Amino acid sequence: MEAIGRHLLLELKDCNRELLSDLGFLRNTLLSAAREAGATIMGDSFHVFEPYGGVSGVVIIAESHLSIHTWPEYGYAAVDIFTCGNALHPERAVDLLVNALEAKSTSTLELERGILDSEDEAP
Question: Which sequence positions are flagged as catalytic?
Answer: 64, 69, 84
Residues contacting 71, CB < 8 A, separation 6+: 20, 52, 54, 77
Q: Is the dihedral of CA 83, 85, 86, 88 positive or negative?
A: negative
Write the CB contacts of 50 (distance below 8 Å, at least 6 apart in sequence). Answer: none
CB 59 within 8 Å of CB 30: yes
User: Which segments of 60-100 does DSSP mark as H helices, in order?
Assistant: 90-100
Backbone angles phi, psi at 75, to 5 degrees: 65, 30
